[in-house]
Chain A
Amino acid sequence: MLRFFLIVFCISLMSACSNKKELPILGNRDYQTKIVNGKEVQDTIYHTIKDFNFVNQDSQPVVPATFQDKIYIADFFFTSCPTICPTVKTQMLRIYEKYEGNKNVVLLSHTLDTKYDTPEVLNSYAKKLEIETNRWHMVTGEKDDIYTMAKQYFIAAAEDPNSPGGYTHSGGLVLVDRDKFVRGVYDGTEKDQVTELLGDIDVLLKEQGLK
């Protein structure tokens, strides 16, 4: 009997902790010393997603302001990808479907195959998935810009003629808050990690005063 209560106690303790989950801010930090009111103060500068300028499946520009007062989940893929992409897209559809009707949660998929994946190709891909552009942007742009962005999101991506489809990349899903801080990176090929991401999105929405 005592053991039973002990187990119940432990479980409730664990759930108490997960309710108060706080998401970290990922990336290298910089410290800057400032003088405020004659006192020396140290300011922490967090890693933020830098400016970008891409074009989506409706040939409309996608810039940081597109995600103003929203949180978004970024990933990297290409439409002809024969490896992990369909799995990641299946998992992203879970996110898309859960937040149906919520304008504050947006998905952003970058193509790594900027040569083949024109806005027209992305448009037909998006049409097949039956997604709304304002909730799921599929973007292309200058090749170098896309690969530079991947690094900012801590995603490994490279052209590789030896790998199936011609590109090698991770299936990471990156959670970005309204201040453009990266709050989590999840493996989009793992169902359990995406379930964790779904929970973290709720935590982040609450933290940021969004619904």
Chain B
Amino acid sequence: MRWIFILFIAAIALVLVQCDTNPYKQGKVLYEQNCQNCHQEDGHAVRGLIPPLAKSEYLSDPEQVACIIRNGLKGEITVNGEKYNHEMPPNLVLTPTQISNIINYINNSWGNKHPFVSYNKVAESLKACGDEFL
């Protein structure tokens, strides 16, 4: 009887582990270190002040996202129908690889579903918006 119970618990644990489907572990760690203070753990950021990443329409353009992560953002923007105007600081120490990891993590979190973004694509976008890191 006890064995069945233990097996049952193990099965549940296994299912729970499998449920965590976001494969971008590195991106998650980088997100926690570089983005989470403002955009928060749940991607909903701060009401009225800082725009959400969860279901944000901005994410459909990965090239733009890479440049926003690198250079920050100033001025008014509209996300999911709400207006925001609070400066986002640039992130000059992140490498293009790290930026790709962050984008892929964001793209597959909080209900977001966007296609995989490769390192090459991110590097290209960064070059196009004047990145001197490369």
Contacts and interface: CB of A to CB of B under 8 A. Distances in A.
B87 to A, nearest CB: 7
Contacts of A130: 47-48
Interface stretch (B38-46, B59-67, B102-110): B38-46
Name, among B49, B84, B89, the residue most crowded by chain A CB atoms within 10 Å (CB to CB).
B49
A90 B40 contact: yes
A162 B86 CA distance: 23
B89 A86 contact: no
A169 to B, nearest CB: 14
Interface residues of A, number: 15
Nearest to B38: A86
B61 to A, nearest CB: 24
Given A80-B87, A82-B89, A129 B49 contact: yes
Contacts of B120: none
A158 interface: no
B85 interface: yes
Contacts of B86: 128
A86 B85 contact: no
A128 B48 contact: yes
A93 B37 contact: no
A86 B48 contact: no
Name, among B36, B40, B46, B50, the residue most crowded by chain A CB atoms within 10 Å (CB to CB).
B46
A contact face: mostly helix, strand, loop, or mixed: helix
B85 A128 contact: yes
Nearest to A127: B48
Interface in B74-131: 84-87, 89
B45 A86 contact: yes
A128 B84 CA distance: 8
Contact of A87 (B40, B84, B87, B89): B40
Interface in A43-102: 80, 82-87, 89-90, 93
Given A84-B37, A90-B40, A129 B47 contact: yes
A186 interface: no
A154 interface: no
B89 to A, nearest CB: 5
Nearest to B39: A86
Nearest to A97: B47
Name, among A82, A83, A89, A125, the residue most crowded by chain B CB atoms within 10 Å (CB to CB).
A82
Interface of B: 36-38, 40, 45-50, 84-87, 89
Interface of A: 80, 82-87, 89-90, 93, 125, 128-130, 164
